Amino acid sequence: MAKYLGREWKKEELRSYFSDITAAAGAVPFTYSDGKGEGVRAVEMHTGSGLQLTVLPGRGMDIHDCRYKGLPLQFFSSTGMTSPAYYEEPGVRWLRSFFGGLLATCGITYCGAPCTDQGKELGLHGRIANAAAEQVSVNQDWEGDEYVISVAGKLREASVMGENLLLTRTVTSRLGSAGFTLEDVVENRGFEPQPLMLMYHFNFGFPLLSETARVAAPFASTIPRDAQAEADNGIAEHDRFTAPQRRYMEKVFYHDNACGDDGRTFAALVNEEAPGGPLGIVLRYSKHELPEFTQWKMMNKDCYVCGLEPGTAKSTNRAAVREEGKLQMLEPQEIRRFTIDFEVLDTLEQIKQVQKQAEEIRAGYGR
């Protein structure tokens, strides 16, 4: 049944109050028309629970704005919304069009730091976030007594005489839901094996992220990316945060995220004392699909963000992942599926429950 205004409704009952149910929940396509974002296609979804998000068919089917009851959950960078026309691939120039947003997808054939892999020069985090989607569809309709809202599109990563990959993404939510489900299907349409590197770069900012925020996840172990991540008690304090600082140097950690017997796991960012009241988010996924987990901690003034990033590989670089023997390959015509469930928490009870679940999964891991 549809959940709305604190109770459950049957379709006929709720419909009797609305000539058009999109007054309560729905999706509206639009196009950015200002500055460097001019021409980027977008779809705004609102679920009636206070959750509002903007999916970008014009930018990798990623998620830009995401708010809950008016409060931003995401981090926005100083670039603002930027069209793929401004994408610069070499080195770290990907950062010139990295607007942040709730989700920036990294991949498909490479992600992580720039490198040279088997003679190929690869930039930062891949191309897919700057691809525009084809065959975009926006669907909103009743399925029994539930009102379902979804946005779908197809993204190519292809080169003449090179890779030929297709990513089909669907973002789905429901009337009254405080979350959404992201489903990706990656297909190798070519006839040669291709590297598969996908990392879901979720970015969270103030007021969810503040001095009182904590990461809650069943991490079994943690490895620092470099000496900078180790500095100033970095590993022990990876799950805690400070106020914004001048000249803070980013810290990146690689976690082994414990899972249950079914492979399911999660990572959460929670803040019991967030301005405006308790607030948190949870990312739930399968470790069988996404075995690696990267955390980005950046406490700098003007760039205050925590990234929680499940993926098929660490965010080192493709050459390093290949050398480690962990580079996944997508065989000719092979199809791989990935699903992430996103949920907003807004009570102390929900936050405590997630923290308890993390402890239980960690305690039972490997037994």
Q: Given this model, what pLDDT does residue 351 score?
A: 98
Give tens-digit pLDDT for 299-324.
Answer: 999 999 999 999 999 999 999 999 99
Between 347 and 232, name the one with better pLDDT. 347
CA distance 123 to 110: 9
Cβ pair 183, 169 in contact under 8 A? yes
CA distance 91 to 78: 19
> Please, what is the average pLDDT of the chain?
96
Q: Given this model, what pLDDT does residue 231 score?
A: 87
Whether this prediction's pTM lies above 0.95 is answered by yes
Which helix (DSSP H) or strand (DSSP E) does residue 7 occupy? strand 7-9
* 3-state SS track over 162-191: CCEEEEEEEEEEECCCCEEEEEEEEEECCC
In the predicted model, is pLDDT for residue 366 greater than 80? Answer: no
Q: Given this model, what pLDDT does residue 233 score?
A: 85
Give tens-digit pLDDT for 127-148.
Answer: 999 999 999 999 999 999 999 9
Q: Which CATH class is domain 23-364?
A: mainly beta
Residue 153 CA, distance from chain mean position: 16
Q: Given this model, what pLDDT does residue 365 score?
A: 85
Cβ within 8 Å of residue 269, ≥6 positions away: 204, 208, 209, 213, 214, 215, 216, 280, 281, 306, 308
Percentage of the chain modeled with pLDDT above 70: 99
In the predicted model, is pLDDT for residue 367 greater than 70? Answer: no
Give tens-digit pLDDT for 144-182.
Answer: 999 999 999 999 999 999 999 999 999 999 999 999 999
Give tens-digit pLDDT for 94-114.
Answer: 999 999 999 999 999 999 999
Cβ pair 294, 311 in contact under 8 A? yes
Q: Given this model, what pLDDT does residue 67 score?
A: 98
CA distance 267 to 314: 16
Closest CA to 263 of 300, 229, 233, 291: 291
What's the mean pLDDT in 219-245? 93
Q: Given this model, what pLDDT does residue 286 score?
A: 98
Closest CA to 321 of 131, 89, 118: 118
In the predicted model, is pLDDT for residue 18 greater than 80? Answer: yes
With 0-12 / 13-18 / 19 or more C-beta atoms within 10 angstroms meaning exposed / middle / buried, residue 47 is: buried
Q: Given this model, what pLDDT does residue 89 score?
A: 87
Percentage of the chain modeled with pLDDT above 90: 96
233 backbone dihedrals φ, ψ, rounded to 5°: 60, 35
Query: DSSP code of 355?
Result: H
What's the mean pLDDT in 214-224? 97
Domain positions in the chain? 23-364
Rg (CA), the chain: 20
Cβ within 8 Å of residue 121, ≥6 positions away: 90, 114
Pair type for strands 179-188 and 164-174: antiparallel
- DSSP line for 133-150: PEEEEEEEEEETTEEEEE
Buried b (16+ CB within 10 A) or exposed e, 14-32: beeeeeebeebbbbeeeeb
What's the mean pLDDT in 194-214? 98
